[in-house]
Amino acid sequence: MLEHRHTYQRPTIVVFLDITSAFDSLDRTVLWGCLLKKGVPEKFINILKALYTNTSGRVRAYNHLSPLFHSSSEVRQGCPISPFLFNFAIDDILETVVMDVSNGGVDLLPEERILDLEYADDIVLLCDNAQAMQSALNQLEISVRRYGMCFSPSKCKVLLQDWQDSNPVLTLDGEQIEVVEKFVYLGSCISAGGGVSDEINGRIVKARAA
């Protein structure tokens, strides 16, 4: 998609977002309500609730076990169903952002715009103007907090592709997001220039090191 926009020299703001301990901080009570709203049968929700009732754990450090502790948030790491539960929450969060942000996203097809891409907790926002992007970030911050989660602004990055104006100042949780020239997303190097040379060079280096 970015290569297509680069071909036609369409300016694009890309924001890569990082949720702090995403799976560990998800509010289960809000999640159950989300599942019900999405049409998941209540009997299945009750099974999930039973699975998460009285969740406890211990931590081993330096060959010593911590006291037993109980958890009322999070989805279980390593559980096959956890990514699906998390995706329900993320979809609900981003649906709210899409509905509340006008003129957001970028053109993908005639009369069709796309604002977000997500893979588990790896979220990307795309806009062609800074005002819409800041509105999306503001709304996303509110929606994420509703689920008990928050962003790590220092780990979030802004990439400006084919951007001719001065660099926009975009903030998240009161902190300015750093502008970078390239970013590795899901293993692929995306560069502000829109080219693929950085990605090719990166793959060559990995192949030589293998």
pLDDT averaged per 10 residues in sequence order, the chain, 210 residues: 80 94 89 96 95 81 85 78 92 90 83 86 92 95 94 94 90 94 86 66 65
Question: How confident is the model at residue 204, as a pLDDT?
Answer: 61
Backbone angles phi, psi at 20, to 5 degrees: -70, 120
What residue spans define the domains of the chain?
A: 2-55+68-209
Count of CA atoms in the C-beta half-sphere (13 A) of 136: 28
Q: What is the pTM of this model?
A: 0.83
Give the pLDDT of residue 44. Answer: 96
Helix, strand, or coil (residue 206) = helix
Give the pLDDT confidence score for residue 8 in this predicted structure.
79
Q: Which two tokens stand for residue 26?
A: 């998800």
pLDDT at position 135 is: 95
pLDDT of residue 141: 95
- Give the other-Cβ count within 10 Å of 104's Cβ: 23
Cβ neighbours of residue 52 closer than 8 Å, sequence gap 6 or more: 28, 76
For 74-130, the DSSP string reads: ---TT-TTHHHHHHHHHHHHHHHHHHH-TT-BEEEETTEEE-EEEETTEEEEEESSH
CB-based burial, 143-173: b 16+ in 10 Å, e otherwise: bbeebbbbbebeebbbbbbbbeeeebebebe
Q: Domain 2-55+68-209 carries which CATH code?
A: 3.30.70.270
| pLDDT of amino acid 41 | 97
Helices 130-146 & 82-100 angle (0-180, nearest 10): 140
How far apart CA 126 and CA 11 sit, in angstroms, is 10
pLDDT at position 128, please? 93
How many other CB atoms sit within 10 Å of the CB of residue 209?
A: 6
For position 206, what pLDDT does the model report? Answer: 65
Q: What pLDDT shows up at residue 197?
A: 57
The structure tokens 């949780």 sit at 173
